[in-house]
Amino acid sequence: MAGSGQIRQLRRRIKSVKSTQKITRAMEMIAASRIMKAQRRVAEARPYAEQIHDVIRGLAASDVVADHPLMSEHENVERVGIIIATSDRGLAGAYNANVLKVADNLIRREEEEGHEVQLFLVGRKSEGYFKYRGRTPAKLWTGVSDQPHYQDARDIAELVMDAYIEGHLHRVWLVYTDFKSSLTQVPHHMRLLPVEAQEFEGGQEIPPEFMFEPEPDDILSLLIPRYVEAKVFHGLLESAASEHASRQRAMKAATDNANDVVNKLSRVMNQARQDQITTEISEIVGGAEALSNG
């Protein structure tokens, strides 16, 4: 019977959608728990970066800032490095598309100024995106985006710092997604190298009787690279929190859509069952009338 076949098909579809709904709901819950963990890691890392920044500000106010190579601009800018933080996995809504759009605009701007752009990519999504467009990254890091560690940031920062000091790169940008809230994440870019002296303005001058051990220049030689590492780590942590927030919203939307589909299919199935019952009753009544008339 056609009605029975349609009902069986609808039941299979409802079962399939409910199975998918369980998966998306589980992924939504996992993402929600990871958001909280990522936010906590951002908060825990902040005092370290702030302390480094405050010490450098104090030295800057005391006019003891050395001509550090990471703070010195290259006269001729020919090669520019761009670090782009994306995710390894998908199912995160427009998270990757948004940050890659910012990266594309930055790349276009640098190339229009006649600069060669070298890409330092974090996450397989950026690798696939630029590979499709014929761009080979100078370096790719995977397995970092979900739960970045400080050593990951150090590896990235050391590579571009060495390239900057040796003159292989003349400017470095960091493109990442800033986590504002579970509903708002903003992709943007910031200049990583050279470190701008304006970042350390407004500090309180260190008293003249304050003695340094080792010398201020030596302290800066240690602190400025750590400051760059901390900025990269901050960008990775913010991106991780943003990725989880985007995935939670995407999975919630998928779960809600699945629920709508189940309700719609259930209504169609109920209507099909009613039609089937009506048809069967009509056949029975028709048969009874035929017998009585016979």
pLDDT score of 132 more than 60: yes
In a 10 Å sphere around its CB, with 0-12 CB exposed, 13-18 middle and 19+ buried, how is residue 142 labelled? exposed
Give the orientation angle of helix 216-293 with respect to helix 150-165, to 10 degrees: 130
The pTM (predicted TM-score) of the whole model is 0.82
pLDDT score of 7 more than 70: yes
Indicate the pLDDT class of residue 257, thresholds 50, 70 and 90: confident
pLDDT at 276: 72
pLDDT at 110: 97
pLDDT score of 198 more than 80: no
Q: What percent of the chain shows pLDDT beyond 70?
A: 86
Q: What percent of the chain shows pLDDT beyond 90?
A: 45
- Mean pLDDT for the stretch of residues 197-214: 58
pLDDT at 36: 86
94: closest CA among 25, 189, 31, 184? Answer: 184
Which value, to the nearest 10 degrees, does the dihedral of the CA atoms of residues 227, 149, 237, 145 take? 130
Q: How do beta strands 185-193 and 171-179 pair?
A: antiparallel
Note the pLDDT tens digit of each residue in 269-287.
788 777 777 777 776 766 6
Q: What average pLDDT does the structure give for the chain? A: 85
pLDDT at 214: 63
Would you call 174 helix, strand, or coil by DSSP?
strand
pLDDT at 288: 65
pLDDT at 230: 92
Residue 126 belongs to what H/E stretch?
A: helix 124-132
44-73 per-residue burial string, b: 16 or more CB within 10 A, e: under 16: ebeeebeebbebbbbbbbbeebeebbbbee
Instruction: Please answer whether residues 235 and 61 qualify as being in contact, where contact means their C-beta atoms are separated by less than 8 angstroms.
Output: no
Note the pLDDT tens digit of each residue in 134-185.
999 999 999 998 899 999 999 999 999 999 999 999 999 999 999 988 889 9
pLDDT at 1: 45
- Mean pLDDT for the stretch of residues 18-44: 87
pLDDT score of 253 more than 60: yes
Note the pLDDT tens digit of each residue in 218-230.
777 788 899 999 9
Between these two residues, 126 and 253, which has the higher pLDDT value?
126
Cα angle for residues 56, 62, 67 (degrees, 5° grid)? 65
235: closest CA among 66, 33, 42, 18? Answer: 42
Q: State both tokens at 189.
A: 């870019």
Provide the terminal-to-terminal Cα distance of the chain, rounded to the nearest Å.
Answer: 27
pLDDT score of 197 more than 80: no
Rounded to 5 degrees, φ, ψ at 180 are -95, -45
Domain architecture of the chain: domains with CATH: 2-28+251-293 (1.10.287.80), 31-249 (3.40.1380.10)
Note the pLDDT tens digit of each residue in 8-23.
888 888 888 888 888 9
The C-alpha atoms of residue 27 and residue 231 are separated, in whole angstroms, by 30
Q: Indicate the residue type of 63.
A: D
Indicate the pLDDT class of residue 209, thresholds 50, 70 and 90: very low
pLDDT at 57: 73
Give the orientation angle of helix 95-112 with respect to helix 124-132, to 10 degrees: 50
